[in-house]
Structure 1
Amino acid sequence: MATAMKLPRCGVCGISFTYGGPDPHLLPCLHSVCQECLNLGTSDTLTCDICQETFDKEQTDFPTDVVAIKDIFLQTAEYDGSAVLCTNKGDGNQAMSWCGECEALLCEHCQAGHEDMKITRSHKVVPLENLKSSDGVPIPKTAYCTEHVDHPLQLYDETCEQRICFKCRENHGVCKVNDITEAYQHLKETVLDEEKKGLAKKIETISAIREQIHTVVKLSETKEEEGKDFLKHTFSDLRNTLNQREEELLLELGQSFKAVYDVNNSRLYELGKKEAKCDTALGYCQKFADMSSVDAILNAKKTVLSRTSGCIAAKVSQVSERESSITLSRKDLTDLKQSISSFGEYYVPMDPQAESQHHPEGSTINAMKGNIKRLEADNVSLLEALKSRGQQIKELTSTMESLVRVSDVAVHFLRMPDVSFPVPLLCTPLKYDKDKVNLDKVHINTEGDLVDRKSFTRVAGKGRLKKYWGTCSTAPLSQDGCPQYWEVENRVSLDKLLSENLLILEVGVCRVEQRDVSHSIGGRPHSYCMIVSCCPIHGGICRKIGKEGKRVLCLPDTLPNTAPHTLHYGVVYDDARKKIVFIDVKEKKVMSTLDNVDCSEPLWPMFGVYNSGDVTVSMKLVVGSDISMTEEKKAMIVKALS
């Protein structure tokens, strides 16, 4: 078979269709499926491998794919004509041409007879090598009613969507009925034409948005270069300011110690003079007693004693070592370091999903321009503040803290070793789904916390979880390639000593079909979770990590089997790296990193609290800008994802 032929393939198994084989059927996504995959009884659903859409076999129609059939026929006729046989009498000869009116393939002999017959002489016959997709379009065949066998199906009931005969028309009095040919032409020339126009317009919209994205990317590249230059000049200015301040302090330091040196040199000079006087008086006294007569001593007594008494009585100032302890004041140094370390960090002050939903085609570029200008202005003002005195530095710190809370989505940036640019970490504003809470086991109290106590104010209704002891989030995690992070704070009070394998709490993610299969997702496929429970193996309360229904890790000594406690955990989901990380926030360490996470379908965050008769659990969801994101926590996440 010629290599140029590219026959349509089954969207499920990928096997090519062949001319003369079973007819392909049409999936709702407009891809084809073979008869074998359609008849396969191992599953109630079909998943198209091309677009990853899944369809229920029982609730979906799979009509014959006439487009694929025509494509197979045309390609086979063009590239492998020997496989196309004459349909007249089934004589097995190779077909040479096609009659669209007869819907028949003709061999050389049948074509000659076809042209000789008066009834078929005017038919348009096309050689196979010249056959095009527009040739041989079948007109509606004459079909007969199964109930009124002598009456042709010449009408089409648009209300009931079926072909009927004139006899059946009596039973379709209130329906909209047209001639079959008119209905066919209307569908072809009006309905499908309008759909094609709508699709073309949609493609134009998508193309326009694509161009906007390219514009945003180009603008971002320009702004990135401008930002680099801005940061270069900004930090150069900052370094000059620091160097200037260093020189000023060095000068002040030298002047301060020069004053110390001058004072002490003056002291040394005065001490030298006093020491010389005392030394002279002492030497004279020693010689005066040995060498003078009685009269001489008595005559000079007053002069000598006056000098010696004066020397002895002269005051000598004491000196303290504290006078040399000139130190540099470190006032506000901590605030200064903190301000410099956080200065210039970029935040995204909006919910990206909400922005795309409310302004899908217009405001992205303007919003970006506004954000860049605002951030540049903020950086300039922050730099000026850094040049000011200590009180302004304190005000700057509070300003930087307020920038983190400009929206429900808190965006932080991770310095990943495997990429050259900062990776955004989204603290997504998850919410408990109050309409899904299993009220037979748990409820959400007035503070918004999930507690392991049955609700006595509302009864479980339609749509609520029946088996799972907790609830899920209101929406699945987005699959946009950015790491996402959320936390849960748990207040746990043990009403009595626990035994056996009693569950306390659970946090994790799973697919939609696993949300309500059991009281816990820990033993289910397509689930990833961290469970706190009593552990008979270690004889205490442990943290257990589960992946795809299997336990992969058990960490003992989570908390003593007594007294109230607070447990604080964080979860990181990275669909790009296919990883989930569980963090013990209180202990400041990563408990476990799960690799090769199946992210092909959306995953739902799940929250469970258990066994109200033995333990009291209150789980608070901490999300968005309420999360305290420290540099130490960032470092843990980076290490876990690397």
Structure 2
Amino acid sequence: MATVVKLPQCRVCHTSYKYGGPDPHLLPCLHSVCQTCLDTADTLTCDICQETFDKKQTDFPPDVVVLKDIFHQTAENDGSSVLCTNKDDGNQAMSWCDECEAFLCEHCQASHEDMKITRSHAVVPLENLTSSGGEPTPKTVYCTEHADHPLQLYDETCEQRICFKCKENHSDCKVNDIATVCQHLKETVLEEGQKGLSQKIETIRAIRDQVHEVVKMSEVKEEEGKEFLKHTFSELRNTLNQREEGVSLQLDQSFRAVYDMNNSRLSKLEMEEAKCVTALGYCQKFAAMSSVDALFRARKTVVSRTNECITTELPHVRDTEAAVTLSRQDFTDLKQSISSFGGYYIPMDPQSESNPEGSTMNAIRTKINKLEADNMLHLQVIKNRDQQIEQLSSTMNSLEYVSSVAVHFLPASEAPFPVPLLCIHLKYDKDRVNLDSVHINTEGDLVNRKSGTRPAGEGRLKKYDGTCSTAPLPRAGCPQYWEMKSRVSLHKPLTPDLLILEVGVCRKEQRDVYHCISGEPSSWCMTIVQCHTHGGICRRTYKEGKRVLHLPDTLPNTAGASRTLHYGVVYDDTRKKIVFIDVKEKKVMSTLDNVDSRQSLWPMFGVYNPADLTVSMTLVVGSDINMTEEKKAMIVKALS
């Protein structure tokens, strides 16, 4: 039975290549496209990577690896289709001559061996011409301007091959022997790329093992959670029958979210592994090539894809992800609000990698998990419900984590699982306060007065009248919330456009461009200002330097007027929204959409004009925030 030859395919039109057919070319993803697709399509989409490339903006060098594969597979398995290089002959090729780079039929081979000039050439029978041997010898290429001079040098500055005669015109360029450059490319650049790809593949597989372990642990935790529900609600059956059904549903939905998240990770890891395996395999074959033209024509594409594969970020897996945990934050009010008891949630990491407190938070989360496991055992054996509540309240109040980051859950009926709201623990950055304009007093408030002392230190804000937070907002994947309570007293009526205070977020490079961020790109903020339009003191919100909303009557513009202003800010990196809330008036002032969160955003706090007024701004964060059901409902409505 004849051997079926399975030749490589074009990754765009899926047509199998054949010897003597349209040549394969190299896509930037290191898969191949045929000459036919290259001639007819404006954009090319690889069916493996699902990446699309614009033909006008992309280089597609010959795919020498696939060309070699087609040739060797055809020679091994379908030698009858390989014809003698002498087209006038038209006979089936029987062998290959390295030095002549020609296929020889039986007749030409005999003539080849009889001729004195060619009888010493290395001739390989076609059946022995495998991919591991029989490599063609590099053919000497001569200069187009100096016909008798071979191209034996490479100009790395101009990126072209030159001869010794051409070198006179390249005196200011970096010129090396082409064999040296070629060897360096093979042994250094491609070798380093292969090493990096191998390490990346190992990392991908290690993370994939972690993902599988998280799923496995989740299954165990799910069973433990169901047992916990069974024993807990058996003690509270008379009051909690309806609530048990709801919490059980939340449990299933929460674990479904864990599985969905990890399935998404596995899919990404498989895709990244496939890219790296493709790149590694190609690099290994490419490095073995000795065709100088092919090597230099495709080296940029190969090196670019290799670096892209190596530097692609991979998903992070935390040890606590499988520990879907029952929320106990309402236990102190359990007697009065038994209907809201419980609720499962996926553990969130409110600290970004850039936050220096991240390692501390990991230790705290480990402590919480241990205490919760202990509490589950207690709840199974303690029969008195009041004693259960007292013990749990005492335990939770003793945790440092609760006093720094509070986790609440937003009522989201359309979501597959409860949406956590993180009341993060922001801090004023004392080391960046602009001491020429403001200072932080002994109570920790930001005040619009110069500091009496001027401690030395680099990195302070020089233009912005205020300070920023100690770290940018983490990419938590869920809404984050903080509040500012500001005491404002007017010394005299304010003139138009006089600033009182500002709160908002901006990118790192916008923090110290001007005395406020409201007019800057990549900023989203709210200001309190004396308004020339309304003649009173108004609230304005800005999006990337443009005013989007104007709300009047914050406080009277009269000498001696005093008022406490209380505002909240919601930042949701998933929905790309920022919401400003008037806490005292219990209403949403403004919702800014399409917030560009590709770069980290820094919370900013500004207080102004000490000659005309006094401002003292206090941060209200973490468990100090009074998170009411009414406030949750406002946030849900603003984010929907």
Alignment match of 2:467 (pick from 446, 467, 471): 471
Q: 1:428 is matched with which residue?
A: 424
Alignment of 1:378 onto 2:389: no
CA distance in 2, matches of 1:188, 1:346: 52
Alignment match of 1:594 (pick from 592, 595, 620): 592
Describe the superposition over 1:68-106 as per-residue Cα deviations: whole angstroms up to 9, x where unpaired.
Answer: 664568889999xxxxxxxxxxxxxxxxxxx9999x99x
Contact 2:235 2:385 in 1 (8 A): no
Q: 1:235 is matched with which residue?
A: 233
Describe the superposition over 1:492-512 as per-residue Cα deviations: whole angstroms up to 9, x where unpaired.
Answer: 221212121111111111223
CA distance in 2, matches of 1:32, 1:189: 31
Q: TM-score, normalised by structure 2?
A: 0.57
Describe the superposition over 1:598-617 as per-residue Cα deviations: whole angstroms up to 9, x where unpaired.
Answer: 23332222211111211111
- Alpha-carbon distance, 1:579 to partner: 1.4
Q: 2:208 is matched with which residue?
A: 210
Q: 2:615 is matched with which residue?
A: 617
Q: 2:153 is matched with which residue?
A: 142
Contact 1:405 1:625 in 2 (8 A): no
Contact 1:542 1:557 in 2 (8 A): yes
Contact 1:347 1:404 in 2 (8 A): no
Contact 2:580 2:588 in 1 (8 A): yes
- Counterparts in 2 of 1:37-436, with a 5 A limit? 70-71=61-62, 141-142=152-153, 163=175, 181=179, 185=183, 188-189=186-187, 192-194=190-192, 196-240=194-238, 336-338=335-337, 341-342=340-341, 353=352, 374-379=371-376, 381=378, 387-388=384-385, 397-402=393-398, 405-406=401-402, 408-436=404-432
**Shift in CA distance, 35/604, structure 1 to aligned 2, threshold 3 Å:** farther
Alignment of 1:507 onto 2:507: no
- Alpha-carbon distance, 1:338 to partner: 4.3
Secondary structure, counterpart of 1:640 in structure 2:
helix
> Once structures 1 and 2 are overlaid, which stretch shifts more, 348-357 or 564-573?
348-357
- Alpha-carbon distance, 1:339 to partner: 6.6
CA distance in 1, matches of 2:595, 2:626: 27
CA distance in 2, matches of 1:473, 1:586: 24
Q: 1:630 is matched with which residue?
A: 628
**Shift in CA distance, 338/200, structure 1 to aligned 2, threshold 3 Å:** same
- Counterparts in 2 of 1:573-584, with a 5 A limit? 573-584=571-582
CA distance in 2, matches of 1:358, 1:469: 27
CA distance in 2, matches of 1:231, 1:553: 48
Contact 1:426 1:485 in 2 (8 A): yes
**Shift in CA distance, 368/502, structure 1 to aligned 2, threshold 3 Å:** closer
Contact 2:152 2:164 in 1 (8 A): no
**Shift in CA distance, 193/349, structure 1 to aligned 2, threshold 3 Å:** closer
> Once structures 1 and 2 are overlaid, which stretch shifts more, 470-479 or 537-546?
470-479
CA distance in 2, matches of 1:219, 1:74: 44
Contact 1:523 1:549 in 2 (8 A): yes
Q: 2:449 is matched with which residue?
A: 453
- Counterparts in 2 of 1:523-542, with a 5 A limit? 523-542=519-538
**Shift in CA distance, 447/368, structure 1 to aligned 2, threshold 3 Å:** closer
Secondary structure, counterpart of 1:523 in structure 2:
coil
Secondary structure, counterpart of 1:230 in structure 2:
helix
CA distance in 1, matches of 2:432, 2:545: 23
Contact 1:385 1:393 in 2 (8 A): no
Max Rg structure: 1
Count residues in correspondence.
460
- Alpha-carbon distance, 1:475 to partner: 2.8
CA distance in 1, matches of 2:199, 2:568: 45
CA distance in 2, matches of 1:405, 1:429: 10
Describe the superposition over 1:524-548 as per-residue Cα deviations: whole angstroms up to 9, x where unpaired.
Answer: 3332111111122222212112223
Secondary structure, counterpart of 2:404 in structure 1:
coil
Q: 1:318 is matched with which residue?
A: none
**Shift in CA distance, 32/392, structure 1 to aligned 2, threshold 3 Å:** closer
Residue identity matched to 2:419: V
Contact 1:471 1:606 in 2 (8 A): yes
**Shift in CA distance, 405/347, structure 1 to aligned 2, threshold 3 Å:** farther
Q: TM-score, normalised by structure 1?
A: 0.57
Secondary structure, counterpart of 2:553 in structure 1:
strand
**Shift in CA distance, 135/576, structure 1 to aligned 2, threshold 3 Å:** farther
Contact 1:492 1:567 in 2 (8 A): yes
Secondary structure, counterpart of 1:218 in structure 2:
helix
- Alpha-carbon distance, 1:571 to partner: 0.8
> Once structures 1 and 2 are overlaid, which stretch shifts more, 531-540 or 195-204?
195-204
Secondary structure, counterpart of 2:496 in structure 1:
coil
- Alpha-carbon distance, 1:182 to partner: 5.6
- Alpha-carbon distance, 1:233 to partner: 4.0
Secondary structure, counterpart of 1:336 in structure 2:
coil
Alignment match of 2:601 (pick from 603, 619, 627): 603
Describe the superposition over 1:239-292 as per-residue Cα deviations: whole angstroms up to 9, x where unpaired.
Answer: 25899xxxxxxxxxxxxxxxxxxxxxxxxxxxxxxxxxxxxxxxxxxxxxxxxx
Q: 2:433 is matched with which residue?
A: 437
**Shift in CA distance, 355/232, structure 1 to aligned 2, threshold 3 Å:** farther
**Shift in CA distance, 518/557, structure 1 to aligned 2, threshold 3 Å:** same
- Alpha-carbon distance, 1:187 to partner: 5.6
Alignment of 1:482 onto 2:496: no
CA distance in 1, matches of 2:575, 2:156: 60
CA distance in 2, matches of 1:355, 1:209: 21
**Shift in CA distance, 226/542, structure 1 to aligned 2, threshold 3 Å:** same
CA distance in 2, matches of 1:600, 1:145: 36
> Once structures 1 and 2 are overlaid, which stretch shifts more, 494-503 or 510-519?
510-519
Alignment match of 1:519 (pick from 515, 519, 522): 515
Contact 1:506 1:532 in 2 (8 A): yes
Contact 1:490 1:619 in 2 (8 A): yes
CA distance in 1, matches of 2:231, 2:490: 59
CA distance in 2, matches of 1:356, 1:490: 27
Describe the superposition over 1:212-236 as per-residue Cα deviations: whole angstroms up to 9, x where unpaired.
Answer: 1232133224423431342244223
Contact 1:144 1:150 in 2 (8 A): no
- Alpha-carbon distance, 1:440 to partner: 2.8
CA distance in 1, matches of 2:348, 2:478: 16
Alignment match of 1:571 (pick from 569, 572, 577): 569
Secondary structure, counterpart of 2:471 in structure 1:
coil
CA distance in 2, matches of 1:138, 1:351: 61
Residue identity matched to 1:444: I
- Counterparts in 2 of 1:15-30, with a 5 A limit? none
**Shift in CA distance, 422/588, structure 1 to aligned 2, threshold 3 Å:** same
Contact 1:343 1:382 in 2 (8 A): no
Residue identity matched to 1:588: K
Contact 2:240 2:339 in 1 (8 A): no
- Alpha-carbon distance, 1:573 to partner: 0.7
Q: 1:498 is matched with which residue?
A: 494
Q: 2:160 is matched with which residue?
A: none
CA distance in 2, matches of 1:478, 1:546: 22
Residue identity matched to 1:142: L
Question: Structure 2: 5+ residue runs without aligned partners?
Answer: 1-9, 15-23, 30-34, 40-50, 71-96, 103-112, 141-150, 158-162, 168-172, 242-331
CA distance in 2, matches of 1:446, 1:631: 33
Cα RMSD between the aligned structures? 5.6
**Shift in CA distance, 220/611, structure 1 to aligned 2, threshold 3 Å:** same
CA distance in 1, matches of 2:397, 2:64: 68
